[in-house]
Each structure stands twice: as C-alpha cells, then as structure tokens.
A and B are shown apart, each in its own frame.
Chain A
Amino acid sequence: MSHPLHLFHMLEPYLPMTLATMLACLGVTLLVAFSVNRGLQSSDGVIPEGRLTLRNLLELMLEGMVSLARQTIGPDWPRWMPLIGTIGFFILVSNLMGLVPGLANPTSFIETNLAWACLAFGAFNYAGFHKHGWGYIKHFLGPVPWLAPLMFPLEVIQSLARVLSLTVRLTANMFADHTLVAVFLGFPVISLFVPWLVMGLGLFVAILQAFIFAFLTMIYIGLALEEAH
C-alpha cells in the first residue's frame, strides 16, 4: 500500500497514520456536534432555520435513522440511538475524508474498523445479556433442544463472523476505491476521464457503507433483544 504525499504521511515518524487520521476525524465530528448544539441552546432553539444548514441536514439524517431504529429495535430505541448515531456519523465523516485529496481515510485501515466492529459486538451482546440475563444463551441453542450441542458452536461462530464481516466489508470498500483510482491513473488517456466516474462511485459507496454499518448494528441489537425461538 503506497500512500501519495499528504499531510498524515508527513506526520508518520511522530504519530502513526491510524492515530493521526482518527484524531482529525474526531476533531471534525466534535466541531460539527458543538456547532449544531449551539444552535439548539439559543432561546428559540426548537425552531429550525428556513434554509439548508448543517443542523437541518443532520436532523434529516437522524430522522431517517430513528425511523429505522424504531422498526428494527422496537420500543427500546432511545437507549441505543446515541451509539448507533455515533457509529454512523463517525464512519460517514471518515469515509468522506478519504475522498478529499491530501487527507487520508481512518476507515481504510483495518485496525480502526476492527475497533468499531468490536464495539458493535459488545453492544449487541450487552443488549442481550441486559434484557434476558443468562437466558440470552437460549438464543444460541437453536429451535429444538436436542440440536443444542450442534447449534451452539455454529451460533458462536456466527457472532464472531459478524465482527469479521463488518470489519472486512468497510475496510475492503474503502481500500478498493483507492486502488481502483490508482489503477486508472496509470493509463495515459483513460486517466483523464475515468477517475471522475470512479470518484463518483466512491462517494456513493462511502455514504452507503457508513449507513450499512450503522444499520447492521441496529439489526444485530434488534435480533439480540427479541425473544428466542
């Protein structure tokens, strides 16, 4: 993986690139969060502005995610919405950062995505244990009691495979986009036209993959919270 010359690569001896890009993404997220919050704290904070602002855009995204959370998680959704919203928004910002020339993408490193996937794993297991207690193990035993010794390892492997699939899906999508652009830049004539299309596809994939990560976390939490078979 060869990186072009950009800011985070120059910080390489002092700060590893995974950490530097992650801190930059965190800074952007906190900036957006505080600026929107300041709009809410003013005296007529309930009334939104009439034009397209950052706050209206975020409220639009949040409204869509809340309606999905209400369908998948059920009546318990306000408890889980901060986590899912944080995951979705952070991954969205970091994916979009990767499309800007000169910045790097925190989610193109497998370490970052593994951390987010482990957080989602902890979240849905905590949801299951918190709601059902030790009865959460009944989720892993399958529909019929005499199949339990066969079903239990398979269900445990399925839970671990969810972590792996979340990680690899996000990393490979972000990494493949950069690789594709790099490949097309090697040819003389095609490099004038095709990278535009690839960047457009990359923008679509960036937004979609952030949404897919948050949506899958919602589905896993919803599956852990519902009753066993």
Chain B
Amino acid sequence: MRVLSTLVVATLVLTLAPDLAWAAEGGGSSGWGIALGAGLAMGLAGLGCGLGQGFATSGAVQGIARNPGAAGTIQTPMIIGLALIESISLYGFVIAILLWNLIS
C-alpha cells in the first residue's frame, strides 16, 4: 500500500513539475534574461567607472592640496585619465544597447 501511494505521488509530481516551472518563468518568454543582462552590463560598468574616477580625482586633488602651485600641471593628466576611465563605462553602454536591440 505504501509503495502504491508513493508511486501515485511521484507520478503526480513528475507530471505537474514542468507546468510549475513554466508558470514561474512567466509564460514562456525568454526576453527577461537579455533585459537583465543589459541592465547589469550598464550598472556594473557604471560601478567600476565611478570607483575608478573617484580614485583618480582623489589622487589629483590630494596632489593639488600638497602643492597648490602645480594645480595646472596636475589637472591635465587628471582630465586625460578621467576620459580614459569613462570609456570603460561606455563599453558597457554599447553592450547594453546591443542587447536592447536584440529584444526589440
């Protein structure tokens, strides 16, 4: 009797499981993964860029604080460095745009 009830429960579970997975997925659309990837791409790229530019600006401002006469000399490499770090976040933006075009 126990074997029969176990067999009945197992058959029910195995039949209904794919149905539950399908319902959890939201009806069978596969676009949500791509959209999540696009959002994460830009978000993580922005995180890295923000930290990098923060370090660059902090180093430059500390240098100016130690030696205010060298402000012009420090400012030029700081601007160049900020533009180069900015380009990393723009690579993430390009990936996000490519993924977004893939959905729509």
Contacts and interface: CB of A to CB of B under 8 A. Distances in A.
By secondary structure, the A interface counts as helix
B87 A165 contact: yes
Interface stretch (A38-46, A90-98, A188-196, A208-216): A208-216
B80 interface: yes
Interface residues of B, number: 10
B79 A168 contact: no
A112 interface: no
A171 B93 CA distance: 11
A176 B93 contact: yes
B40 interface: no
B83 A176 contact: no
A220 B80 CA distance: 15
B71 interface: no
Contacts of A215: 80
Nearest to A169: B87
Interface size class, chain A: 10 to 19
Interface in A162-211: 165, 168-169, 171-173, 176, 208-209
A172 to B, nearest CB: 4
A176 B80 contact: no
Contacts of B44: none
Interface in B33-53: none
B83 A168 contact: no
Contact of A209 (B83, B91, B94): B83
Contacts of B91: 168, 172
Given A165-B87, A212-B84, A172 B93 contact: yes
Interface string A138-178: 00000000000000000000000000010011011100100
A111 B47 CA distance: 29
Nearest to A171: B94
A228 B94 CA distance: 35
A176 B79 contact: no
Interface string B62-100: 000000000000000001100110110011011000000
A14 to B, nearest CB: 27
Nearest to B82: A208
A105 B53 CA distance: 27
Given A172-B94, A173-B87, 4 more contacts: A169-B87, A172-B90, A176-B93, A215-B80
Interface of A: 165, 168-169, 171-173, 176, 208-209, 212, 215
Nearest first, the 7 A-B pairs at minimum CB distance are A172-B90, A169-B87, A212-B83, A172-B94, A208-B83, A172-B93, A168-B94
